[in-house]
Amino acid sequence: MIGVRAEHRGTLRALGLRRIGSSRVHEDSPSLRGQLHQVKYLVEVEEI
């Protein structure tokens, strides 16, 4: 991910997002919301 800050790349890896177009399902938690807030310009989030 060229042009993405190193901290944000680490956050994406921690979320399990390794490649463009990858998706993951996570339980909602305050820490997860904080991580998503940090990379909100890179990800699309929907509640299922």
CATH number at residue 34: 3.30.1390.20
Question: How many domains are contained in the chain?
Answer: 1
pTM: 0.83
Q: How confident is the model at residue 1 (pLDDT cuts 50, 70, 90)?
A: confident
Asked whether the beta carbons of 35 and 14 are under 8 A apart, the reply is yes
Q: What is the mean pLDDT of residues 20-33?
A: 95
pLDDT band of 40, cuts 50, 70, 90: very high
Q: Per-residue pLDDT averaged across 2-22, rounded? A: 93
18 exposure class (CB count in 10 Å sphere: 0-12, 13-18, 19+)? exposed
Domain that holds residue 34: 1-48
Query: Mean pLDDT, the chain, as a whole number?
Result: 94
